[in-house]
Amino acid sequence: MSRIVVQEDRCKGCLLCTTVCPVDIIVQSDRFNASGYKVAEVPEADADKCTGCASCATICPDVAIKVYKTPKKKKGE
Amino acid sequence: MSEMNEKLVFDRPKSVIDRATHYCPGCHHGVAHRLVGELLDEMDLAEKVILTTSIGCSVFLYNYLNVDAVEAPHGRAPAVATGIKRARPEHFVFTYQGDGDLASIGMAEIIHAANRGEKISVIFVNNTVYGMTGGQMAPTTLIGQTTTTTPAGRCMTHEGAPIRMTEIIASLGGVAYAARGSLDNVKNIRKAKKYIKKAFEFQLSGTGFGFVELLSACPTNWKMTPLAANERIQKEMIPYFPLGVFKDVSEEGGIC
């Protein structure tokens, strides 16, 4: 299961990441960070849909997203 | 145990300092900084870079990139970079300038540095306004665009037409590489990184002047949400400022 980690104190809530996610799982949360921005998040229910493509991190202007990718298991493993 | 074989595939490049930027939400300066930082890491240049920064929102670039930097007077980054490169040719010298800096007050410096074929690289961030000073009209402001100094929209007969810098630079003899990219979607960002890499390579090989224009958004001064501003690049800017490589001497057989 691939996943992203949003560094919440850096996120400015611009939501550019939500426009590029191929599986549309990034949304704006209800939480505010210390700067007063509503940060982006992947809801728990959708977490397993992340493909680890890193599109969100590529467009993030604040380098607030880390991407962890888990390689798909090969057949027979 | 999927967690055990997961790999960190995207993280902050080493050359980009881990610090919150002063940019507004949705400003593409951060993306441009990161692309430059990634390339400095990948090409192992960080230790030999002398960055020349400009005036504008990018004025604090030296706080965000972990390299040696010189702050040039408004628009004069190519002139300062010329001096640095000629005095220290073993260093890698690039400038990072906005459209208010490069295309208006710095027009003389950029044109002559390019025409002399200085062995420097220029990153030109075009967001069609003076960002830092409050959104006044820049030479690149599109026709009809409302700014604080053109409240009724830029008018062709009154204020003239937006300048297409990359086309002008590409027409000059000393230029090795001139390209225009955009930072509005993942595909364009990846392409823009390739353009910057090519420009950097032309400096490393001593071929000549490299110029990369990056179309970017300024949501605050365009008075738009970050998402609407991002869309405006595709809808309004790219039709007037076409993307692509406008000059590449390696394809013209001009390298000797």
- Residues of A within 8 A of B21 (CB-CB) are 61-62
Residue range B56-70, pLDDT digits in tens: 999 999 999 999 999
Say what the pLDDT of residue A77 is. Answer: 54
The whole-chain average pLDDT of chain B stands at 94
B63: tokens are 């706080």
What pLDDT is recorded for position B180? 97
pLDDT at B6: 86
Tokens matching residue A71? 């390689």
- Identify which has the larger pLDDT, B44 or B253: B44
Report how far residue B2's alpha carbon sits from residue B86's, in angstroms, rounded to the nearest whole number: 53
* Residue B100 scores a pLDDT above 60: yes
Can you give the pLDDT at residue B212?
Answer: 98
Decide: A61 and B189 in contact? Cβ < 8 Å.
Answer: no
Residue A52: which of B5, B195, B37 has the closest Cα?
B5
The whole-angstrom separation of Cα A43 and Cα B238 is 34
pLDDT score for A71? 84
**What pLDDT does B3 receive?**
56
Q: b/e string for B90-121 if b means 16 or more Cβ within 10 A? A: eebbbbbbbbbbbbbbbeebbeebbebbbbbb
Q: What is the mean pLDDT of residues B207-211?
A: 95
Q: Give the architecture-level CATH label for domain A3-67.
A: 2-Layer Sandwich (3.30)
Which pLDDT score is estimated for B37? 97
A:B CB pairs within 8 Å: 82
Domains and CATH numbers, chain B: 22-249 (3.40.50.970)
pLDDT at position B1 over 90: no
In chain A, which residues touch B (CB < 8 A)? 1-3, 9-10, 12-16, 19-20, 35, 37, 52, 54-55, 57-63, 65-71
Which residues of chain A register pLDDT less than 70?
A: 73-77
Mean pLDDT, residues B186-212 taken together: 96
Closest CA in chain B for residue A9:
B20
pLDDT at B104 > cutoff 60: yes
Residue A72 pLDDT: 75
Predicted local distance difference test score (pLDDT) of residue B256: 62
B251 pLDDT band, cuts 50/70/90, is: confident
- Write the DSSP assignment of A27-52 as a string of letters: EEEEEE-TTSPEEEE--GGGGGG---
